[in-house]
């Protein structure tokens, strides 16, 4: 559904190359490689790049395979993407979709660096970004549709144990 939108780009770790379960969903959905941008592990820069792309009219879907590592991008998230509309007196309103996951503990527990859930903290910190926690498979598609249609940025928190 997202790939059908001409403005949407998929950007992040394992966007073009296998490495986590989210890659498999892009493959299953047949997201064209021309809409995927692979990045190294540099989470803060990744969100800065996505904000820049959004300012140019794209809708980047920024992929963070583990929510634990989205924490590294908190400067870009809390101080820039969330506040840019207020800082620009409404002139700039970038829309970035952030896809992240609370890591699975089954069949193997990835440990505390790969399975933390920071959803509640994000909701408390962010004032202009929608946060969706997708705890049931049937919530996923409607939430992504709502995020795509929203005029705000959104974080979509998937649950690894659903994969």
- Residue 3: how many other CB atoms lie within 10 Å: 16
What distance in Å separates the CA atoms of residue 163 and residue 161, rounded to the nearest whole number? 5
Residue 25 counted as domain residue = yes
Domain annotation covers residue 2:
no
Give me 158's structure tokens.
């998937």
User: How many structural domains is the chain composed of?
Assistant: 1
Q: Is 129 exposed, middle or buried (0-12, 13-18, 19+ CB in 10 A)?
A: buried
Pairing of strands 153-159, 129-134: parallel
Task: Report the CATH number that the domain containing residue 90 is assigned in CATH.
Answer: 3.40.50.970
Q: Say which residue the tokens 């005029």 belong to.
A: 151
Give domain status of residue 137, yes or no: yes
Asked whether residue 3 is domain-assigned, the answer is no
CB 151 within 8 A of CB 95: yes
Full domain range(s) for residue 106: 8-162
Question: 119 lies in a domain?
Answer: yes
pLDDT one digit per residue (tens) for the chain, 163 residues: 999 999 999 999 999 999 988 999 999 999 999 999 999 999 999 999 999 999 999 999 999 999 999 999 999 999 999 999 999 999 999 999 999 999 988 888 888 889 999 999 999 999 999 999 999 999 999 999 999 999 999 999 999 988 8
């Amino acid at each position: 559904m997202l790939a059908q939108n001409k403005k949407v780009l998929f950007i992040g770790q394992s966007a073009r190359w296998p490495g986590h379960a989210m890659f498999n969903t892009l493959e299953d959905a047949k997201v064209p490689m021309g809409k995927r941008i692979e990045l190294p592990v540099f989470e803060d820069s990744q969100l800065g790049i996505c904000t820049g792309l959004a300012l140019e009219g794209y809708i980047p879907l920024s992929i963070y395979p583990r929510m634990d590592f989205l924490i590294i991008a908190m400067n870009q998230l809390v101080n820039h993407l969330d506040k840019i509309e207020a800082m620009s007196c409404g002139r700039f309103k970038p829309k970035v979709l952030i896809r992240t996951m609370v890591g699975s503990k089954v069949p193997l527990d990835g440990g505390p660096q790969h399975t933390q859930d920071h959803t509640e903290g994000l909701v408390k910190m962010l004032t202009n970004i929608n946060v969706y926690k997708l705890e049931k498979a049937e919530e996923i598609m409607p939430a992504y549709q709502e995020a795509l249609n929203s005029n705000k940025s959104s974080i979509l928190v998937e649950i690894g144990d659903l994969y």
